[in-house]
Amino acid sequence: MATLYTEKSKNIWKTWLYITIFCLFVIGIGYIFSYVMNSYSILVIAVLLAILMSFGSYWWSDKLVLAMNKAVLVSHENNRALYHLVENLCITAGLPVPKIYIIEDLAMNAFATGRDPDHAVICVTRGLLEKLDKMELEGVLAHELSHVGNRDILLSTVIVILVGIITLLSDLFRHFTWFGGGKRDNDNSQLAGILTIVALILSLLAPLAAILIQLAISRKREFLADASGALLTRYPEGLASALQKISGDPNPLRSANHATAHLFISNPFKKSGFINRIFSTHPPIEERVKALIQMDVENEKFKNKNEK
């Protein structure tokens, strides 16, 4: 029976499979648009613009996110309990201790950000600290540290670049088509017309497809962080219980916005429904809890087997 231990390895190769598909998708879209517009320089310009835009977010995203959420830095002196929890987990995981921040909000949530383990940040809300017990809080912190250890921050930046390239190419193609530019003169007019229609349809659908691929990768990384966090604490039930409490908490995060929602351990908007489920950056809490509980059952079976 599959558990999060086996799902961890599956999530890794599935994530890289999605990225490979994503890269091929970008190349294919870029080639079609450039061919129809008879200008391959458009593809080069779009790639450079997307990389430059994402470069800034990679280096300064942590400061921007912390400022938007009005997070306050935690020191060893003003919150020893939280600092020691993070410190002990970092020692176990072999990670440097990140900067720790608190958002003064009764909503229950947390996130990790920063460009690498040496410049990482972990942020929790006041509501999370007040409503979770020690084991549950440790599970949440381990999950966020796993995002740091698994280099999810770098991966998400790469995905943002790819989505940005597709969006820019789509916008540029529609602009050139609208003003009648970039037509190929040496091609069969019927074939050129068909390719133009296909490219126009792709320009409308490609950004949506790119977002869906991005969401699929993001959800896989959440399952991977759950697995890694549970392995770190050796207590899957702690994270499962924390996720159940977070899911049942009715308070939305007041400072939440769509640009940073994917960073949090749970959807900060507390919205449900079919459309929100499809476009959610996180897998359903119920599925994550079920996997963690199964992981706990397998742990008990393993212990009982060794005791006999």
In this structure, are residues 160 and 52 in contact, taking their beta carbons and an 8 Å threshold? no
Overall residue count recorded for the chain in this entry: 308
Structure tokens at 88: 């002990």
Catalytic residues: 144
Residue whose token pair is 């599956």? 10
Give me the amino acid identity at 129. Answer: L
H helix or E strand, kind and range, residue 139: helix 134-149
Indicate if the alpha-carbon torsion angle 141, 142, 144, 149 is positive or negative.
Answer: positive
- Dihedral over alpha carbons 216, 49, 206, 163 (to 10 degrees): 10
Give me the amino acid identity at 80. Answer: R
Per DSSP (E only), the strands in 48-169 are: 72-74, 99-103, 110-113, 121-125
Three-class HEC string of 179-217 = CCCCCCCCCCHHHHHHHHHHHHHHHHHHHHHHHHHHHHH
**Strand duo 110-113 + 99-103: pairing:** unpaired
Task: Give the SS3 label for residue 252.
Answer: coil
